[in-house]
Every structure is written in C-alpha cells, then in structure tokens.
Amino acid sequence: MGRDKYKENERVLDELTKKIKMKVTDFNEKFDHDTFHDWMVSLKDYFEWFSVPENRTTKFVKLKLKGVAHSW
C-alpha cells in the first residue's frame, strides 16, 4: 500500500508541475553583479523545479542572454 501511495503522490506532483507556468526573463543589462546574481538564482530555481538536465541548461541560458549580455 505504501508504494502505491508514493506513486500516486508523484503522479499528482508531476501533473501540478505541468500546470504551473514559470517564465524566465531575458537578461540584457550591462554587468551589474546584484542583478545578474538574482537572475542566476531564478534560473537555478527554474531548472530545479522543472528537472532540466544539466546538459541543456547552458543552451537555455544562452537563449536568454540578449544585447550586451550575449556578447559576454
């Protein structure tokens, strides 16, 4: 019974995750340590919530860098 309950809880969490909409903003500012740090923390949270594989995070971040930030 315990395993079935665990699997059911996991299924419910998966369904919840699919329904939540989270948006990662583009980063296009000149280098400001605090702003960049906050942006990176939000990315980390996003990747953790959606279980993004590490091999895809760099490509995703590259897409979100715009303007001057993209040329870093």
State pLDDT tens for residues 4-37.
766 666 665 677 666 777 788 889 877 788 988 9
Q: Which amino acid is at 10?
A: E
Q: Specify the number of domains making up the chain.
A: 1
Residue 26 lies in a domain: yes
Residue 67 lies in a domain: yes
Residue 1 lies in a domain: no
Which structural domain, as residue segments, surrounds residue 31? 22-72
Query: Given pLDDT bands bounded at 50, 70 and 90, which one contains residue 39?
Result: very high
Residue 37 lies in a domain: yes
Residue 30 lies in a domain: yes
Residue 16 lies in a domain: no
pTM for the complete prediction? 0.66
> Would you call 65 helix, strand, or coil by DSSP?
strand
CA distance between the termini of the chain: 54
Residue 9 lies in a domain: no
| Torsional sign, CA 24, 28, 29, 32 | positive
Residue 69 lies in a domain: yes
